[in-house]
């Protein structure tokens, strides 16, 4: 088992190709365990059955080798009781098979909880394409072929998983996915989609910040200082929204010097300080602020960085911000820092694109209600509810958010029930 999980993804891909190029692991409801159709992956199924950190009765994991590019593709389905599993497609290099699996498992679980707390009738899923070391991944023709292949892979899953945009994947890539599957959202407006969800995601995170500030009796964002790790697309929209709210100062770091220079010109004369940070530079964690926002990749909140924080609130756009979600939320609580769980704050990416097939209006009330304070599932309202439950029950905010989300995840789709289970079982039989 250890040897299989420790494999380099390229080596695993070669082995998967030798065993037919495709494999599936799924939750067998009769046995109450993860099983697989590939005997050589039995150790992987055993690992999933034994793991209690990232595996939460996931319904299915499907792995395949792309026929032309040779890339390793995966679809992770956590839960489909509320509806089809929805979640973005991550294109990223991984050091080991285990790191790839854990990323997909954690992210798909997070999507289940995010959609449930957002009041969406969707389940949780995640797509992954492992970026090969020798692949020309920046070449437009290679990317078109790769994403068309992922579309074909998604089509083969019969609608149990709906893919979308995520880290490493952009709007143009989603257009290529759309060429070979209907099971995709976040496609360009030119073909009837919602396009880039970054602006909506940013606005939602700012609403969560406001909820946390109100919970602590600290008033509104006007005059406050916000520190950010990461100044990418979502962060840039966050800064725009914060400036509209009258924020006193924004300090943001990023590893892309050229992007920072462009942003400096954009906000010249505004209270925005942009700092270039070399890879591994974590000085931004020690910046005194009213709200600290992790906006880059996940796993950045761990004992060392938590000890550096000089803020009463952590609320950002990144997924899976805690390196260890059973340890690090407790460390934040011990320091008296209010942590808004990522899937509470950054939901708007999936909200923006989840229901594209039902049409859009401009402005869209189905989107805008998430930014208000009256609807029961609005970002601000859910943030307050999570923080109040944590305080009332004497638990961490992650525990409170997970409990609320898992309660919602157990509510079946009002029309289709657990149709995802039937699709997975039919895939297993095939």
What is the average pLDDT across 154-166? Answer: 96
Residue 417 forms part of a structural domain = no
Please return the burial class of 21, using the count of CB atoms within 10 Å of its CB with bins 0-12, 13-18 and 19+.
Answer: middle
Q: What is the pLDDT of residues 51-88, one digit of tens each?
A: 888 899 999 999 999 999 999 999 999 999 999 999 99
Residue 171 has pLDDT above 90, yes or no: no
Give me the residues paired with residue 294 across strands. 229
What is the average pLDDT across 396-422? Answer: 96
Q: Judge if 391 and 266 occupy the same domain.
A: yes
pLDDT of residue 320: 84
CATH number at residue 226: 3.40.50.720
Which of 177, 190, 172, 1 is closest to 98 using CA atoms? Answer: 1
pLDDT of residue 191: 87
Residue 419 forms part of a structural domain = no
Q: Judge if 192 and 250 occupy the same domain.
A: no
Residue 157 forms part of a structural domain = yes
Q: What is the pLDDT of residues 202-254, one digit of tens each?
A: 999 999 999 999 999 999 999 999 999 999 989 999 999 999 999 999 999 99
Q: Judge if 229 and 192 occupy the same domain.
A: no
Run of H or E residues at 124:
strand 123-130
Q: Judge if 168 and 211 occupy the same domain.
A: no
Residue 406 forms part of a structural domain = no
pLDDT of residue 221: 98
Residue 320 forms part of a structural domain = yes
Q: Which residues contact 191 (CB under 8 A, 6 or more apart)?
A: 175, 178
Sign of CA dihedral 101, 102, 105, 108: negative
Q: What is the pLDDT of residues 80-132, one digit of tens each?
A: 999 999 999 999 999 999 999 999 999 999 899 999 999 999 999 999 999 99
Q: Judge if 62 and 205 occupy the same domain.
A: no
Integer CA distances (angstroms), 258 to 26, 83, 170, 244, in order: 45, 42, 19, 25
Integer CA distances (angstroms), 319 to 11, 63, 103, 162, in order: 28, 22, 10, 19
Confidence category of residue 357, pLDDT binned at 50, 70, 90: confident
DSSP 15-78: HHHHTTSEEEEEEETTTTEEEES-GGGHHHHHHHHH--SS-SS--EEEEEE-TTT--EEEEEEE
Q: Percent of the chain having pLDDT more than 70?
A: 100
DSSP state of 121: S
Give me the residues paired with residue 123 across strands. 85
Helix (H, G, I), strand (E, B) or coil at 418: coil
Confidence category of residue 362, pLDDT binned at 50, 70, 90: confident
Give dist(CA 403, CA 397) in Å, integer.
10
pLDDT of residue 325: 82
Please return the burial class of 209, using the count of CB atoms within 10 Å of its CB with bins 0-12, 13-18 and 19+.
Answer: buried
Residue 420 forms part of a structural domain = no
CA atoms within 13 A on the CB side of 163: 39
Residue 301 has pLDDT above 80, yes or no: yes
Residue 1 has pLDDT above 60, yes or no: no
Residue 409 forms part of a structural domain = no
Q: Judge if 367 and 235 occupy the same domain.
A: yes
Q: Judge if 97 and 188 occupy the same domain.
A: yes
Catalytic residue among 126, 133, 203, 218: 126
- Give the number of residues written for the chain: 430
Q: Judge if 202 and 189 occupy the same domain.
A: no
Residue 2 has pLDDT above 90, yes or no: no
Q: Judge if 71 and 220 occupy the same domain.
A: no
CATH number at residue 41: 3.40.50.10860
Give me the residues paired with residue 91 across strands. 129
Q: Structurally, how many domains does the chain consist of?
A: 2
Place of tokens 């939460």: 56
Q: 218 catalytic, yes or no?
A: no
Helices (H) and strands (E) in the chain, counts: 17, 14
Residue 369 has pLDDT above 60, yes or no: yes
Q: Judge if 131 and 270 occupy the same domain.
A: no
Give dist(CA 314, CA 337) in Å, integer.
7
Residue 59 forms part of a structural domain = yes
Give dist(CA 87, CA 350) in Å, integer.
7
pTM of the model: 0.89
Residue 195 has pLDDT above 80, yes or no: no
Domain, as residue range, for 281:
198-350+357-395
Q: Judge if 251 and 140 occupy the same domain.
A: no
Give dist(CA 302, CA 148) in Å, integer.
38
Q: Judge if 241 and 376 occupy the same domain.
A: yes
């Amino acid at each position: 088992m250890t040897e299989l999980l420790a494999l380099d993804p390229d080596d695993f891909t070669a082995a998967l190709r030798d065993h037919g190029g495709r494999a599936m692991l799924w939750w067998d409801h009769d046995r109450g365990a993860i099983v697989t159709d590939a005997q050589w992956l039995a150790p992987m199924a055993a690992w999933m059955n034994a793991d209690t950190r990232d595996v939460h009765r996931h319904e299915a994991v499907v792995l395949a080798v792309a026929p032309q590019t040779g890339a390793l593709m995966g679809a992770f389905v956590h839960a489909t009781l509320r509806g089809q599993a929805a979640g973005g497609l991550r294109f990223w290099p991984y050091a080991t098979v285990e790191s790839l699996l854990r990323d997909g498992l954690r992210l798909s679980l997070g999507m289940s909880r995010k959609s449930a707390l957002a009041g969406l009738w969707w389940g949780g899923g995640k797509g992954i394409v492992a970026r090969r070391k020798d692949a020309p991944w920046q070449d437009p023709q290679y990317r078109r072929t790769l994403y068309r292949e992922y579309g074909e892979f998604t089509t083969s899953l019969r609608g149990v998983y709906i893919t979308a945009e995520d880290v490493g994947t952009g709007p143009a890539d989603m257009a290529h996915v759309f060429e070979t599957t209907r099971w995709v959202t976040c496609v360009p407006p030119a073909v009837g989609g919602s396009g880039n969800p970054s602006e909506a995601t940013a606005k939602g995170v700012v609403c969560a910040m406001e909820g946390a500030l109100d919970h602590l009796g600290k008033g509104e964002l006007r005059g406050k200082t916000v520190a950010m790790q990461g100044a990418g697309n979502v962060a840039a929209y966050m800064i725009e929204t914060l400036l509209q709210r009258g924020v006193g100062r924004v300090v943001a770091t990023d590893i892309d010097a050229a992007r920072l220079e462009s942003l400096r010109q954009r906000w010249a004369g505004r209270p925005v300080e942009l700092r270039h940070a070399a890879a591994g530079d974590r000085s931004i964690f020690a910046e005194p602020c009213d709200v600290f926002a992790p906006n880059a990749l996940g796993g950045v909140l761990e004992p060392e960085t938590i000890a550096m924080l000089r803020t009463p609130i952590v609320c950002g756009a990144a997924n899976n911000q805690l390196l260890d979600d059973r340890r690090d939320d407790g460390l934040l609580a011990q320091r008296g820092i209010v942590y808004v769980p990522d899937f509470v704050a950054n939901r708007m990416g999936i909200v923006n694109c989840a229901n594209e097939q039902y049409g859009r209006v401009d402005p869209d009330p189905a989107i805008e209600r998430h930014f208000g304070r009256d609807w029961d599932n609005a970002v601000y309202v859910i943030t307050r509810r999570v923080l109040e439950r944590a305080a009332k029950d004497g638990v961490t905010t992650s525990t409170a958010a997970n409990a609320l989300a898992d309660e919602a995840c157990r509510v079946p789709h009002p029309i289709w029930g657990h149709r995802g289970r039937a699709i997975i079982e039919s895939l297993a039989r095939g």
